[in-house]
Chains A and B, each alone.
Chain A
Amino acid sequence: MTHTPHRLEVENASIGYGEKIIMRDLSFQVPHGARVAVVGPNGAGKSTLFKALVGILPLQSGRILIHGESLGTHKDCVAYIPQREDVDWRFPVTVSDVVMMGRFGQMGWLNRASKMDKQLVRKSMEQMGIADLAERSIGQLSGGQQQRAFLARAIAQEPHILLMDEPFTGVDVTTQETTLNLLDHLRDQHVTAIVSTHDLNLAASRFDLVLLLNHKLIAFGTPQEVFVKENLSQAFGNSLLVMENGMMLVDECCPPDEQFAHHEHTEAK
């Protein structure tokens, strides 16, 4: 990794589908190796931002630079944990097949997997605690195990930037814990992690930086700087309840595809 500067830069990006702009004039810079939590109300454009960072959704204006070069010049330095509905779970692939896909970009499309590729795949599966499931069909696994299989694939990809869209919602405790441990491990390896979450407590306690969005940038900085009353009320509007003792409560329902509602809250500084 000889590129300098090591970072992700988003400059005046406007993102949307055709005429409809979902994210307007977004600018921020992430230093290399930082852990960034992306928070904001439902429909604030978190997934849209992720799609733009991956390159599925073209920018309407502005630009995204990785290591100072525009998105698309790098082959596979961005890994992405897809949302459940983007994957065909009935497809005939085993867990190790899925993880091996993470190596495709580097091994070349015509080459066979080398010994090193196979070792990396095995190591990634061990790290995610799914090595014993290697030969199982991906569709036979539980939701949490499937997510860990995709995390293992992301590690095998050896990315510089890892994007995770809501990895803590709707998964078991083991998977949540493994995912959090992975974040710690990635920081040691100087991999930038950008994670969207509804859990503001988690965002405040386990991340270096918080990106607060609501169709535009509300605030970006350390959790202490971002989680103040003005920012939160600007982002969440009427869903924010400020109590007398300084506690703030965000009453936010889950995304529409989830079955039961829950509440999230955070302490005021």
Chain B
Amino acid sequence: MNFLLEPLTYQFMQRGLLASVIVGVLCAVMGTYVVLRGMAFLGDAMAHAILPGVAIAYIFKGDLLIGAGVAAIAVALIIGLFSKGGAVKEDTAIGIMFAAALSLGVALISTMQTYAVDLSHILFGNVLGVSPSDLWLIGGLSFAILLTVGLLFKPFLVISFDPVLAATLRLPAELLRNLMLVLLALTVVVSLQTVGVSLAAAMLVTPAATAYLLTRRLLPMMLVSAVVGALSSIIGLYLSYYFNIVSGSAIVLTATLFFLLAFLWKRFRGA
């Protein structure tokens, strides 16, 4: 018991744990759409695309989350613009933005004095550096995103499963798709602090893919995904504390272990 409680005597650990669990659940729920709609590449690109925003905010001593948020939404909308009406395929548009934003971000960061440390925090997260105001922002944004997903559960289900039905029901499919991109962008921004840019994509995909193997309806899939995301965050953080591993890596590796177990379970059950 002491083994579990000891880390929690530190306030930064309490905040870190709370932030990771919130982010774990949020990524897992949004990840359900990422997995089902085949947006894994987009999620990855989005995560890297916020780098220039973070860098600019850092240089001008602004709030990193706000910088990241502006960059992420800009990138989501630019991708939508490039691929609208089939000018170029969506994955091509994503590829272009992904590479351009990552390069710009690294270029900006390389002008800083403390290049190496800052880059590693941005890339892999710094969960133990979560301040009380960060926690409020993470909590507030996550609540808003999850509430939106809850309210739009049925429209999102229809545009994902059967776009033609969405058209006959007169759903504003284009608007909903863009909204989903914005929600995804915000999710990536929120996960910046805990797992970092390069591992956010894994937190979007891995718990949701695990849940996909274990369930056969959308709502259960989301719930199982959320549980896997939360457990991975908790276990990962304890591993990070006791074995002195980077927290983002520990969380993602735990989630990957859950995926492997689900995969093997499904394989040997013959289902």
Binding site for B on A (CB under 8 A): 54-56, 72, 75-76, 78-80, 82, 86-88, 91-94, 97-98, 101, 104-105, 109-110, 137
Contacts and interface: CB of A to CB of B under 8 A. Distances in A.
Given A55-B168, A91-B36, A110-B151, 11 more contacts: A76-B168, A76-B170, A88-B160, A88-B161, A88-B162, A91-B161, A92-B36, A92-B212, A93-B161, A93-B218, A109-B155
Nearest to B169: A105
A80 B164 contact: yes
B214 to A, nearest CB: 10
B155 to A, nearest CB: 6
A55 B217 contact: no
Nearest to A53: B168
A68 B157 CA distance: 32
A248 to B, nearest CB: 35
Contacts of B158: 101, 104
B154 interface: yes
Contacts of B164: 54, 56, 80, 82, 86
Given A92-B217, A101-B158, A104-B158, A76 B169 contact: yes
Interface of B: 36, 151-152, 154-155, 157-158, 160-165, 167-170, 212, 215-218, 221
B34 to A, nearest CB: 14
Contacts of B170: 55, 72, 75-76
A104 B212 contact: no
A154 to B, nearest CB: 10
A269 B151 CA distance: 58
Contacts of B169: 75-76, 104-105
B216 A56 contact: no
B168 A94 contact: no
A54 B162 contact: no
Contacts of B217: 92-94, 97
Contacts of A56: 163-164, 167
A237 B151 CA distance: 54
Residue picked from A78, A92, A93, A104, most chain B C-beta under 10 Å: A92
B172 to A, nearest CB: 11
A110 B147 CA distance: 12
A104 B161 contact: no
Contacts of A105: 169
Contact of A82 (B165, B216, B218): B165
26 contacts: A54-B168, A55-B167, A56-B163, A56-B167, A72-B170, A75-B169, A76-B170, A79-B168, A80-B168, A82-B162, A82-B165, A86-B162, A86-B163, A86-B164, A91-B36, A91-B160, A92-B36, A92-B215, A92-B216, A92-B221, A94-B216, A101-B158, A104-B158, A109-B154, A110-B151, A137-B216
A98 B170 CA distance: 18
Contact of B167 (A54, A93, A109): A54
A93 B157 CA distance: 9
A94 B218 CA distance: 9
A180 to B, nearest CB: 23
The 6 A-B residue pairs whose C-beta atoms are closest, nearest first, are A82-B164, A56-B167, A137-B216, A105-B169, A91-B161, A92-B216
Contacts of B157: 93, 101
Nearest to A138: B161
